[in-house]
Amino acid sequence: MTQPITFYVGHQGRGHANRAMAIIGALPADRAVTILTARPALFDGFARDVAITALPDEADAAYSPPPLLSAQPTPDIMHRAPLGDAAIRRSMRTILEHLDTVDPALFVIDVSAEIALLARIASVPAIGIRMHGNRGDPAHLAGYQACVGLLAPFDEALEQRDTPDWIRARTCYTGGLCTTQDIVPTKAEARTRLGLDPQREIVVVLTGGGGAGTPYAPLTMAARALPDTQWLVLGPVQREGHETDFGNLDMRGWVSGITDYLAAADVVVASAGDTIVHEIARVGRPYVCAPEWRYFDEQVRKAERLAELGAAIALFNWPGASTPWRGLLDAAKALAPEALTMLQADAAAAAAARYLEGMAVALWARPTTG
């Protein structure tokens, strides 16, 4: 039996787990897979036979360090390293015991600089999943150096201009990895399915589950500015309590069949999460990209690059008045559709799986003699 490939999967939102399942599903059937995650429920219903080991959820652990421990500086090559936290110690022990037991050919880390360093110290070859953002700090660079390779689940065209050459050279770019596989309907078909007016201008506003949600107040300004436009708001929203509701502002919350909503839209206003970007690119709708706050400016840097490529209109600050909205929508409609659609690749998960399988074989190959 071949050595397994082990995945460490972050549990912020659903994107990391969905990406892992897409890649794992494309691996050869005879390649065993194990998963380490603090939220095993994210993999409920996954068709592939995998062994999941639950990690302690450090966010749920109530730990208040003594003042002197809390005051200790964090080493430059780490992002989060509090002292005296038993939950972290249990996580590290669980990871090391798992790796020692299964002896993986590869350890795919999505994402953690500290876990990459731990893998190298433990003599386990790791592949780091790359994300956008300001990641030139010592911790990220050390994590990249600790890995035997890096995997970017996005198109090389979306790479940031300031990424060092040595990181680019170690990176496998899969093309934009979209985890949604629903058939993309025409706009007319999608509106019929959803019971929407076939002629009215429709804007879909969308964010994922990794943050606080779309701010509601600016959307009320948009609805007021364009009363003939229907605004469909999907996912969570942030309310301040003083907003005025409008009849053309339709709060739908969490929905199934996101592809239908995107296909029904004339314009999509959405955050810059990996999953959302590639879902919009797959459907090919004009895109106003409103990045959410993330560590290391991940979404801001991605929005900047999308704008540089002419793939989206970047909205770094939600308008505080009604007047900008017509211009934002018209600017998005004026973009060349192919600048966005080219960033998604139907075969991205398969490309990632080929890379991982190839590394799992090549790293352990011994020269033949004779």
Q: Mind listing the pLDDT tens digit for each residue in 146-205?
A: 999 999 999 999 999 999 999 999 999 999 999 998 999 999 999 999 999 999 999 999
Q: Taking the CB of residue 19, how many other CB atoms lie within 10 A of it?
A: 26
Q: What is the mean pLDDT of the chain?
A: 95
Percent of the chain with pLDDT over 70: 98
For 264, how many CA atoms within 13 A lie in the half-sphere containing its CB?
25
Residues contacting 122, CB < 8 A, separation 6+: 96, 99, 100
* Eight-class DSSP state of 171: E
For residues 94-120, give the mean pLDDT.
97
Backbone angle region of 88, left / alpha / beta, with phi > 0 → left and psi within -120 to 50 → alpha:
alpha
Token pair for residue 95? 């990871």
Q: Mind listing the pLDDT tens digit for each residue in 309-364?
A: 999 999 999 998 999 999 999 999 999 999 999 999 999 999 999 999 999 999 99
For residues 3-16, give the mean pLDDT.
89
- Among 197-211, 272-286, 291-305, 354-368, name the one with the lowest average pLDDT: 197-211
Whether residue 61 has pLDDT greater than 70:
no
Residues contacting 311, CB < 8 A, separation 6+: 281, 287, 335, 339, 340, 343
Q: Mind listing the pLDDT tens digit for each residue in 227-280?
A: 999 999 999 999 988 888 999 999 999 998 899 999 999 999 999 999 999 999
Label residue 305 by pLDDT band (50, 70, 90): very high
- SS3 at position 360: helix
Residues contacting 156, CB < 8 A, separation 6+: 173
Rounded Cα–Cα distance for residues 134 and 298 (Å): 7
Show the DSSP H helices in 60-174 as ranges.
Answer: 67-70, 86-102, 113-121, 138-146, 165-169
For residues 31-43, give the mean pLDDT.
96
**b or e along 147-162 (b: 16 or more beta carbons within 10 Å of the residue's beta carbon)?**
bbbbbbbbbeebbbee
Q: Please, what are the domains in the chain?
A: 5-177+346-362 (3.40.50.2000), 187-341 (3.40.50.2000)
Token pair for residue 367? 């020269």
Rounded Cα–Cα distance for residues 114 and 92 (Å): 10
Answer for the pair 63, 86: CB distance below 8 angstroms, yes or no.
Answer: yes
User: How do strand 106-110 and strand 5-9 relate by DSSP bridges?
Assistant: parallel
